[in-house]
Amino acid sequence: MADLPGAGARPGPRSRALFEAAKALMPGGVNSPVRAFGAVGGTPPILARGAGARVWDVDGAEYIDYLASWGPLILGHADPDVKWALVEALERGWTYGAPTEAEGEMARLVTAAFPSIEMVRFVSSGTEATMSALRLARACTGRTAILKFAGCYHGHVDALLVQAGSGLATFGLPGTAGVPAAVAADTLVVPYGDAAALAEVLRLHGERLAAVIIEPVAANMGVVTPPEGYLQQLRDLCTASGTLLIFDEVITGFRVAYGGAQERFGIRADITCLGKIVGGGLPVGAYGGSRAIMERVAPSGDVYQAGTLSGNPLAMAAGAATLRALAVPGVYDGLEAMTAPFAAGVVEAARRHGRSVRVNRFGSMLTVFFTDADVRDYASAQRADTAAYARFFHALLDRGVYFPPAQFETAFVSLAHRPDDIERTLAVIEEAFAN
């Protein structure tokens, strides 16, 4: 692998010029921090178009894409069915600020897929969904405290941008500038996957907790799966303490199964947050739960939440087309059949070249960690060699493979990937490990 990140041939001169110009107009030159390549160094390619499993930058360079726009493009870029659904919606008009038939159709699709969701409210982002879910949980329980897990990300909500305090039962500290200490103080943070810590915190604070929010399969410290029985333990503890259980399935929803992680693990959350795939690549979020819980939301109830572009006709059209494609029998088996040998091939290539890596995979999501120890939580993820990942990332990018530009992110395989894409990617990874 190259000695220094960012030293390769890609991106080309037009991408570099455009990025330099953007830095004078937008913070860091981007509209979401990870896009700036701060974790891996170098300059990001400025993308111009995508089709299937590939994207092209403004210099004409082609990449096999494993970002999938950070997850929502499970059908690949510019999927024809999604495109035509959008064209038809555009011809009718693209926003009304009034009810549409498309909202009802999407609500039917979501509630049919998730038995725990009897009613759903659409918003415009995953952050809005988790923020609204917390407000709703506090209203339903009359409590204020929240429990989250170290390494799980739930959007840029003040109460959830919190780092752990100094002890097991210590409330959190602000994780970013601009979050008041008083806001962070209502959020507890415990290690992901630690059954003893979870039980102890619920014993000490269960009566104060409005909600526990978790990524059922973590994807924002890289892919980390819960220990066997952990989610059921969490479900049981929440039920016993009268605490609402919120599953943040913004990434796992419709990604790991049609009914998300709840289908895979056989566990029902009280409130579910969705996004990404639900909008088919357009801005969207959603939160839902039982009829009794959701009827607290205005205008039916006393929990206010609103959005001018919520249920936007374009997002509803793209989302519905995507969900209909995913409902075809065998879709998820196909994704599994593509991703499992891919992950195994990375492990084999690393072994052949003496590289210390761990590949964590769940369904069509995977992360290559540069470490010689298993990654089971945020602490073990942080011990990964980020400099080695940066060199790996740029070795792939220079050879036409676009992996996530940060060690602690997730790569996604889409239905647009073909066996030859996987073979080509594994050949590139072999070259990267060999150099």
92 token code pair: 């009718």
Cα separation, 425 vs 63, whole angstroms? 10
Catalytic residue among 153, 192, 332, 402: 153
| C-alpha dist (Å) from residue 211 to 114, 175, 225, 249, 384 | 20, 20, 21, 15, 31
Q: Is the peptide bond between 329 and the residue preceding it cis, with omega within 30 degrees of 0?
A: no
Q: What is the b/e burial string over 92-123, where b = at least 16 CB atoms within 10 angstroms of the residue's CB?
A: eeeeeeeebebbebbbebbeebbebbebbbbb
Type of residue at 83: K
Tokens of 236: 């049981």
Q: Which tokens in the block code for residue 314?
A: 């374009």
264 three-state secondary structure: helix
Known catalytic membership, residue 153: yes
Which single residue is written with the structure tokens 């089709």?
A: 51
Phi, then psi, of 82 in degrees rounded to 5: -65, -40
Task: Say which of 66, 148, 230, 276 is annotated catalytic.
Answer: 276
Q: Are 141 and 212 in contact (CB under 8 A)?
A: no
**The two three-digit tokens of residue 267, written as one number:** 């566990």
CB-facing half-sphere around the CA of 358: CA atoms within 13 A: 18
Which residues are designated catalytic?
A: 153, 248, 276
